[in-house]
Amino acid sequence: MGGYIVGWLLEPLSHDFMVRALLVSSLVAAVCGLLSCFMTLKGWALMGDAVSHAVMPGVVIAYALNLPFALGAFVFGVGSVAVIGFVKQMTRIKEDTVIGLVFTGFFALGLVLVSKIRSNIDLTHILFGNVLGISDSDIQQTVLISAAVLVLLMVFRRDLILFCFDPTHARSIGINTGVLYYLLLSVLSLAAVAGLQTVGIILVVAMLVTPGATAHLLTDRFDRMVWIAVVSAMLSSLVGIYWSYWMDASTAGCIVLTQTGLFLLSFLFAPRHGVLAQQRR
């Protein structure tokens, strides 16, 4: 039995692509897991969904021009939110409507570009991720992006926590909340493009939301929330990739489904904020 499990764990590691996939996806999961704490506390799930879709044309153009895809993602991610803000300010249309129409517009542009620009981009890789076939240059960029996001979030975490918790107070004591808004937004664009390497555009919002939600049910302390989110995200990636290997199922689907499973466990069994604990009260 023990030997069977060891074999189940070790056999995939004989493939180079599996080792790379496990390493890259763990890194991406850690970064997105950290960011997901801020996203869930700020209530930016819809924003995460919007930005992760809106980066698509940027990624396509960057690939076509042989530029770093992080650059394209950054420009279109931040740009889409600027457009959302502008349309909201200039018209009577409500914010969630504006978000919905802007990000789908950007996404549609991305689809058209993929189909018309001659390149070696595979649409399904962008939509559903391709962590098992990730190239060396993509890995390099993903590592750089991840490092940048980690450093920015850790250095400015106190300001960002305050920004999420009480932006009015932050402003009243002279902190520039506009800068924090764009900082969080930039980090979100970068993390989204890192996340889409592993699970693709359609499911990346899960990476940006689910670990934070899982962790928020399990603790009332921010530092613990971060650890739980990061560990649960990394665990989900590892389990998901193994699972997809042995079942020959969609990698992105397996990763996100594992995350959802962990959330369900936390939803049911979290010691104080879980459903069962609340029932007992």
**Which residues are near another protein by CB under 8 A?**
41, 89-90, 155, 158-159, 161-162, 164-166, 168-175, 216, 219-222, 224-225
Identity of the residue, 116 or 280, whose beta carbon is nearer to another protein in the bound complex: 280
Q: How many CA atoms lie within 13 A of 179 on its CB side?
A: 8
Q: How far apart are CA 167 and CA 63, in angstroms?
A: 38
Torsion, Cα of 140, 115, 117, 127 (10° steps): -10
We find the least distance from the C-beta atom of residue 151 to another protein, in angstroms, to be 12
Q: How far apart are CA 101 and CA 50, in angstroms?
A: 9
Identity of the residue, 116 or 158, whose beta carbon is nearer to another protein in the bound complex: 158
Identity of the residue, 56 or 102, whose beta carbon is nearer to another protein in the bound complex: 102
Token match 């989204």: residue? 192
Identity of the residue, 90 or 247, whose beta carbon is nearer to another protein in the bound complex: 90
We find the least distance from the C-beta atom of residue 64 to another protein, in angstroms, to be 38
We find the least distance from the C-beta atom of residue 143 to another protein, in angstroms, to be 25
We find the least distance from the C-beta atom of residue 206 to another protein, in angstroms, to be 21
Identity of the residue, 173 or 247, whose beta carbon is nearer to another protein in the bound complex: 173
- CA 32 to each of CA 13, 77, 118, 231: distance values in angstroms, whole numbers, following the listed order: 24, 16, 31, 11
Tokens, residue 174? 């002279």
Q: What percent of the residues of the chain are helix, what percent strand, and what percent coil, each to the nearest 5? A: 85, 0, 15
We find the least distance from the C-beta atom of residue 215 to another protein, in angstroms, to be 9
Identity of the residue, 102 or 196, whose beta carbon is nearer to another protein in the bound complex: 102
Q: How far apart are CA 281 and CA 81, in angstroms?
A: 43
Residue 141 · residue 70 · CB < 8 Å: yes
Q: What is the DSSP letter of 220?
A: S
Q: How far apart are CA 138 and CA 124, in angstroms?
A: 16
We find the least distance from the C-beta atom of residue 39 to another protein, in angstroms, to be 14
Sequence-separated (6 or more) residues with CB below 8 Å from residue 2: none
We find the least distance from the C-beta atom of residue 92 to another protein, in angstroms, to be 9
Q: How far apart are CA 15 and CA 18, in angstroms?
A: 5
Identity of the residue, 20 or 171, whose beta carbon is nearer to another protein in the bound complex: 171
Identity of the residue, 53 or 216, whose beta carbon is nearer to another protein in the bound complex: 216
Q: How far apart are CA 150 and CA 190, in angstroms?
A: 11
Residue 187 · residue 34 · CB < 8 Å: no
We find the least distance from the C-beta atom of residue 220 to another protein, in angstroms, to be 4
